[in-house]
Structure 1
Amino acid sequence: MTETAIGALLIILAGAVARRAGVIRRDDGPVLVKVVIHLALPPLIFLILVRADLHGSLLLVPVAGFAIHGLLVGFVVVSTRLWGMDRPRAGALIVATAVGNTGFFGLPLIAASGDGFSLPAAVMYDALCTGVITWTSTVAIATSYGRPQGGPRVSLSDLGRSLLLPPTWALVAGLAVNLAGVEELPAIVERPFELLGAATLPLTMIYAGLMLDLRGVERLWRELGYAVVVRLGLSTLLGVAVAAVLRLEGDVRATVVIMAAMPTAMMSLVIGTRSGLRSDVLASAVVVTTLLSTLTLPALRAVLL
């Protein structure tokens, strides 16, 4: 994972340099996201599940994810109240720390990092936990703190749309093919899927480089220090504790812990900004935790394995 994480960091920096050189623009970012969601990530998920050795402990993976999320939300809500923080800033910190970037960052990073992790567990964590949390808990927190007069709400329509995106269909199709006992895919199908899936990590990192902006970070050093400690530190410890309580072992345990240690989810910035939370806090948290995670994740892997 060390080589993969360093490679990811270099690709992020390459994306930032390309933006500054005018080769690609920040406005091109949404196109990269669409390419990942519709063309690169679905083949990766499909192949992971087709090749997986499915077992019962995988059903506990999303349970672990929800438990970690709930504990993080409780901790940050209490600590921001004790801090006496205004609601838009507090909401931004809650959203920035309570869920990680398990799909665009975690899943392709694990897939590119070799042995020691369970790729099916990573898919289950992202699709059945983070995906649901994003359009329920994250939206409810963001609307509650960003627009208190409207009260919290859950975006069931957005949740429904997200569940109908190609990665979800790839999850269903991969499970169906696996359970049907198909042991080998035709090369004419498998090889293009491998090539497309391998593009997920570099495309995502180029997108992160496009969004990279460190201006104003120094003004938010307290908030960012807090976000880094909670998102990359406390969340990791909670992952270890929850995995122990659920008696997860081996590759599945390592995957739950590493997914808990992912940087701030990019969708948190989108949802939080739309709801009136502090966009500067959210954007800086995404940038700083993503950059630092290229150092912390290899160190964590060395401890786990």
Structure 2
Amino acid sequence: MTETTFAALVVILAGAVARRAGVLRREDGPLLVRVVIHLTLPALVFLILARADLDGTLLLVPVAGLAIHAALLLLAAGATRVWGMERPRSGALIVATAVGNTGFFGLPLIAASGDGFSQAAAVMYDSLATGILTWTSTVAIASAYGRVEEGPRIDRRQVVRSLMLPPNWALVAGLAVNLAGVELSAAAERPFEILGAATLPLTMVYAGLMIEGRGLARLWGELTFVVVVKLGLAAVIGYGIALALGLEGDVLHTVVIMAAMPTAMMSLVIGAREGLRTDVLAGAVVVTTLLATLTLPAWRELLL
């Protein structure tokens, strides 16, 4: 994982340099996202689950993800009350802390990191915990703190649309192929391998395009909290919850690493739409994404 996260950092910086040089623009970011969501990530998810040695304990992985989310929510909400923050800033801090970038960052990183982790567990965590929380809990919190007059809400249509995205269809298809005992030939697997391998570099280039460092210094208090909790304490919480659920080995390691992922990029999109402080959210995405390339290898060394 150390080599993979270092490579990810280099690609992030390459994306930032490409934007500075005018080779790529921030406006190119949505295209990269569409390529990942509709082509590379579904291929990666399908191949992981089609090849996986499925185990009943995988069903506990999304339970762990939901429990970790609840613990982080309580911690962040309590901190904002103690500090007496105004609601848009509080909501931004809570959203930045409670959900990690397990799809665009975590899943391809786990897939590229070799032994010691369960790729199938990473898919289950992202699809059945983070994926659902993004369009339920995150939306409700953002609307509650950003648009106070409307009250918290969940966009049911967006939940349905997110469940219909290609990575989720790939999850179902991969499970079906696996449970049916179908063994894919090398020729059949190769296109999925090539597409899936493109997920990590494309998402890291996207992260580089989105990086904006201006104004971070005045947010040092909020960003320090997010970094300490999201990249540090979340892993400890994840470890405790995984142990309580009886998880062990590669599955436990994966839950801990997924818990310690940087702030989800979708938190910025949703938070901006609902009126949260975008400077806090954007700063959290930038700082945690960059620092995660250092903290995740450290957690791996402790786990393995």
TM class by smaller structure? over 0.9
Amino acid at match of 2:129: C
Question: What's 2:228 paired with?
Answer: 229
Q: Map of 1:66-85 to 2, 5 A cutoff? A: 66-85=66-85
Q: TM-score by structure 1 length?
A: 0.99
Distance 1:243 1:192 in 2: 34
For residue 230 of structure 1, report the CA deviation from its aligned partner. 1.1
Amino acid at match of 1:249: E
- Secondary structure of the residue aligned to 1:149 is coil
Give a deviation string over 1:127-147, Cα, whole Å, max 9, x none. 000000000000000000001
Distance 1:297 1:58 in 2: 22
Q: Map of 1:6-85 to 2, 5 A cutoff? A: 6-85=6-85
Distance 1:230 1:141 in 2: 18
Amino acid at match of 1:63: V
Distance 2:160 2:211 in 1: 30
Amino acid at match of 2:269: V
Question: What's 1:281 paired with?
Answer: 280
Distance 1:75 1:24 in 2: 39
Are 2:242 and 1:243 equivalent residues in the alignment?
yes
Question: What's 1:115 paired with?
Answer: 115
How much identity, in percent, do the aligned residues show? Answer: 73
Amino acid at match of 2:285: V
Distance 1:112 1:188 in 2: 21
For residue 156 of structure 1, report the CA deviation from its aligned partner. 1.4
User: Runs of 5+ in structure 2 lacking a partner?
Assistant: none
Distance 1:219 1:74 in 2: 25
Distance 2:206 2:168 in 1: 22
Distance 1:164 1:83 in 2: 40
Question: What's 1:200 paired with?
Answer: 199
For residue 233 of structure 1, report the CA deviation from its aligned partner. 1.2
- Secondary structure of the residue aligned to 1:148 is coil
Distance 1:191 1:54 in 2: 22
For residue 78 of structure 1, report the CA deviation from its aligned partner. 1.1
Distance 2:29 2:57 in 1: 37
Amino acid at match of 1:274: R
Question: What's 1:94 paired with?
Answer: 94
Give a deviation string over 1:252-274, Cα, whole Å, max 9, x none. 00000000000000000000010
Amino acid at match of 2:222: E
For residue 186 of structure 1, report the CA deviation from its aligned partner. 2.9
Amino acid at match of 2:287: V
Distance 1:182 1:58 in 2: 20
Distance 1:59 1:240 in 2: 17
Are 2:125 and 1:133 equivalent residues in the alignment?
no
- Secondary structure of the residue aligned to 2:291 is helix
Give a deviation string over 1:206-244, Cα, whole Å, max 9, x none. 000000111110110111001101111121111011011
Q: Map of 1:167-186 to 2, 5 A cutoff? A: 167-183=167-183, 185-186=184-185
Distance 1:168 1:244 in 2: 27
- The structure 1 segments of at least 4 consecutive aligned residues displaced by more than 3 Å after TM superposition are none
Q: Map of 1:157-172 to 2, 5 A cutoff? A: 157-172=157-172
Distance 2:156 2:292 in 1: 31
- Secondary structure of the residue aligned to 1:277 is coil
User: Runs of 5+ in structure 1 lacking a partner?
Assistant: none
Which has the higher mean CA deviation after the structures are superposed, 74-83 or 201-210? 74-83
Give a deviation string over 1:2-43, Cα, whole Å, max 9, x none. 000000000000000000000010000000000000010001
Are 2:6 and 1:3 equivalent residues in the alignment?
no
For residue 188 of structure 1, report the CA deviation from its aligned partner. 3.2
- Secondary structure of the residue aligned to 2:149 is helix
Distance 1:247 1:121 in 2: 14
C-alpha RMSD of the superposition: 0.6
Give a deviation string over 1:270-303, Cα, whole Å, max 9, x none. 0001000000000000000000000000010011
Distance 1:172 1:17 in 2: 38
